Amino acid sequence: MNNKSTLSKGQGAFLDAEGASFRVWAPHADEVLVTGDFNNWSETAHPLSREENGYWSVHLSGVKAGQRYKYRIINGSQELFRIDPYAREVTCSTCHAMICGQDFFWDQQDFHMPAFDNMVIYEMHIGTFNHKEGDKPGSFYSALEKLDYLQDLGVNAVEVMPAMEFKGSFSWGYNPALIYAIETDYGGPKAFKEFVKAAHAHGIAVILDVVYNHFGPGDLDLWQFDGWSENNKGGIYFYNDWRSQTPWGDTRPDYGRGEVRQYIHDNALMWLEEYHLDGLRWDATAFIRNVYGNNDDPQNDIAEGWTLMQWINQQVRARQPGKISIAEDIRNNSFITKPATAGGAGFDSQWDGFFVRRIRGAIAAPEDQAVNMDLLREAIEHRFDSNAFLRVIYTESHDEVANGKARVPEEVSPGNADAWIAKKLSTLGAALVFTAAGIPMIFQGQELLEDQWFHDKDPIDWARKDRFAGIIQLYKDLIRLRLNRNGYTLGLCGSHTHVYHINNQDKILAFHRYQEQKPGDSVIVVVNMKHQESRAYQIGMPRPGLWKVRFNSDASCYDESFSNCNSTDMIATPEAKDGLPASGKIDLGPYSILILSQDPSST
């Protein structure tokens, strides 16, 4: 199947059988011309015709894919050379747009997006994920080489940090200069499509991180694009009053201007339709919906930001049903994931900052007695609405392991991230991610016990893969159980959670995950947050009978330093405890988690 643009009647440069059509929005221009390889960079040969509402267009014969071009915009005495805002491909963030061919062959792929309650996300940064030696960042081609590894790990979705063209070669990606173009150093649009195609062949969905709360601030051709601005601000693509201010300069897009709304809308749909992506993760939505972004005072709301998110999310559902839209809002605001009909922004899920703060606070506590098990319960039970999968839960993300924040093992044991306690508590945190209700996510290298804080020139140390093979196996086992791949932990896919046992003295907690509380559905998770074993510890159980230990994070097969505390299967008897009709005894290793369930055939 050829990849044909669904946006060809909009702006940009699009090839046809005779040449190419060019169309650009420059409402304050007196004249617009296109100059490029196809006219020997003549600045006068090809003027665009003025249309209504500030648009300009022209069709040129003989234009070919790969040719470079720019717009020359005249506004009074100003002469401006601008990169096409809709350019799919560029030579660099300050150089030239390129005519992008639409001849990528996708094949008839038999890929099905995982259901939201069966999704495990692996967040990755293309520049550092599989970086090769040299002064260039990693690319989509180098990342593609690790898809076998990710498939074996068990994840079924990757979230790619922003890959739009940015200033320079190294960046996190949250400074997009041209939101339609794939970063040149990452390989450009063809490389990204090859990555998506290969990921789907491995059964892995691809979610892209998009940045619509600000543009730039560096290498920003959109700035005063056609020469007009007010208050010396950004011009037609930006607010030109007090609403322009963001933590990244006066670079908030003007969500109230129809052409800017269309620009962002078309971009979101382009990723899903032209690149066959399976979802979008929106960066910092608090700065779209709110002027200051650090509170939920309605007086600070940007109404147009709310309606923009609603519109795009409704369009995604209508045109690309089943694909996921995730918000990073981190303000514990349930309206982010409420439908537009209820006044919400309409996202399918959102990052849960409440969860990560409480879990990391517990596993990095200076001493055991400082751990508040009631706060741990709140994190496990927290939800934004009745649907538990309206939240993405994690202990590490790009934000949580950078800017002065450490990887979990390093935070637990500064300067000695390979220590026993760092391994124990980081894997305990991971086990909570995979057993609490929500969409679990891990950050690249987390399963390798990466210890360095994240930055755009610190590549994953793949030599740790052999050194920590047991820890990787622990993650594999957790993912397998979370996705019920053996058929006896369906409860971990369910939306129900009941924390029924809390012992703040001994730092032990137990919770029940289930859908309908049937055998093979009910899953019991027991957590020991103390640096000591607990033998023959009695807890309540949903029903009597044999409960098998499906996972023990203290098992020595994961690391030879683990104590391998005996965790034999439990026989629960009809002795009520913790408000449940049965109970049984188990052994718990220090800083460990047990997962128990019954066989589906049990009665």
* 440 in the same domain as 551: no
Average confidence score pLDDT of the chain: 95
What's the pLDDT at 293?
67
User: 295-298: which pairs have CB atoms within 8 A and are 24 or more residues apart?
Assistant: 295/331, 296/331, 296/333
* 452 in the same domain as 304: yes
Q: What is the pLDDT of residues 115-139, one digit of tens each?
A: 999 999 999 999 999 998 778 999 9
Question: Which domain-ending residue is among 457, 482, 507?
Answer: 482
- Please provide the DSSP assignment of 207-239 as one string: EEEE--S---SSS-TTTTTTS--STTS--TTB-
What's the pLDDT at 4?
36
- Classify residue 1: in a domain, yes or no: no
Read off the CATH number of the domain in which 85 is found: 2.60.40.10
Q: What is the pLDDT of residues 451-482, one digit of tens each?
A: 888 999 999 999 999 999 999 999 999 999 99
* 477 in the same domain as 400: yes
Instruction: Please compute the mean of the pLDDT values over residues 34-43 and round it to a whole number.
Output: 98
* 337 in the same domain as 370: yes
Q: Which segment of 13-17, 159-163, 499-503 scores lowest on mean pLDDT?
A: 13-17
Question: Which domain-ending residue is among 438, 456, 482?
Answer: 482
Residues of the domain holding 150 = 121-482
- Classify residue 283: in a domain, yes or no: yes
- Classify residue 114: in a domain, yes or no: no
- Classify residue 127: in a domain, yes or no: yes
Only one residue has tokens 């795009």, namely 312
**Residue 101 banded pLDDT, cuts 50, 70, 90:** confident
- Classify residue 415: in a domain, yes or no: yes
What's the pLDDT at 296?
77
* 204 in the same domain as 320: yes
* 361 in the same domain as 214: yes
* 501 in the same domain as 478: no
What total number of domains does the chain contain? Answer: 3
Q: At what angle do helices 353-363 and 373-381 cross, to 10 degrees?
A: 150
Q: Three-state DSSP class for 308? A: helix
- Classify residue 477: in a domain, yes or no: yes
What pairing do the DSSP bridges indicate for beta strands 157-160 and 121-124? parallel
- Classify residue 115: in a domain, yes or no: no
More confident residue, 573 or 603: 573
Residue 144 has pLDDT above 90, yes or no: yes
Percentage of the chain surpassing pLDDT 90?
A: 91
Residue 295 has pLDDT above 90, yes or no: no
What's the pLDDT at 57?
98
Q: Tokens for 124, please give them.
A: 């990755």
Q: What is the pLDDT of residues 366-421, one digit of tens each?
A: 999 999 999 999 999 999 988 999 999 999 999 999 988 899 999 999 999 999 99
* 382 in the same domain as 267: yes
Residue 7 has pLDDT above 80, yes or no: no
Q: What is the pLDDT of residues 323-339, one digit of tens each?
A: 999 999 999 999 999 99
Instruction: Please compute the mean of the pLDDT values over residues 507-533 and round it to a whole number.
Output: 95
Read off the CATH number of the domain in which 297 is found: 3.20.20.80
Only one residue has tokens 């820890």, namely 471
Question: Which domain-ending residue is among 458, 482, 506?
Answer: 482
* 202 in the same domain as 69: no
**Residue 3 banded pLDDT, cuts 50, 70, 90:** very low
* 135 in the same domain as 80: no
Read off the CATH number of the domain in which 517 is found: 2.60.40.1180
Instruction: Please compute the mean of the pLDDT values over residues 203-221 and round it to a whole number.
Output: 98
Q: What is the pLDDT of residues 575-597, one digit of tens each?
A: 999 999 999 999 999 999 999 99
Instruction: Please compute the mean of the pLDDT values over residues 245-251 and round it to a whole number.
Output: 95
Helices (H), 247-405: 258-273, 286-289, 303-319, 353-363, 373-381
What's the pLDDT at 603?
58
Percentage of the chain surpassing pLDDT 70?
A: 98
Q: What are phi and psi of 588, to 5 degrees?
A: -120, 130
* 221 in the same domain as 273: yes
- Classify residue 104: in a domain, yes or no: no
Strand partners, 513: 497, 523
Q: What is the DSSP letter of 195?
A: H
* 520 in the same domain as 572: yes
**Residue 292 banded pLDDT, cuts 50, 70, 90:** confident
What's the pLDDT at 62?
96
Question: ∠ CA(368), CA(370), CA(371), 5° rounding?
Answer: 75
